[in-house]
Amino acid sequence: MFIRVTNAKYVDGYKIFVIFNDGKEGIVDLANELSGPVFEPLKEQANFQRFHVDDVTHTIVWENGADLAPEFLYEQAA
């Protein structure tokens, strides 16, 4: 089974509540994952909060094109 993000909602700080296609859900804290050129703009809270679940890649995607593999999010969800 391929892991897919089916829904995601902003919680606070750098935390996102994520629901996966197998029913798993949890909060992912991305505070320590925002390194590198594509993630640098997301350190600004207003930018971080502007994400959506992409219908093609089935993961969280930000306006600047940054994304994280759904498998990574799945492992981080607590």
Predicted TM-score of the model (pTM): 0.94
Q: What is the pLDDT of residues 17-63, one digit of tens each?
A: 999 999 999 999 999 999 999 999 999 999 999 999 999 999 999 99
- Domain boundaries defined on the chain: 5-76
User: 5-76 adopts what CATH topology?
Assistant: NE0471 N-terminal domain-like (3.30.2020)
- Separation of alpha carbons 54 and 6, rounded Å: 9
**Residue corresponding to tokens 């197998």:** 22
- Separation of alpha carbons 61 and 78, rounded Å: 20
H/E run at residue 46? helix 45-48
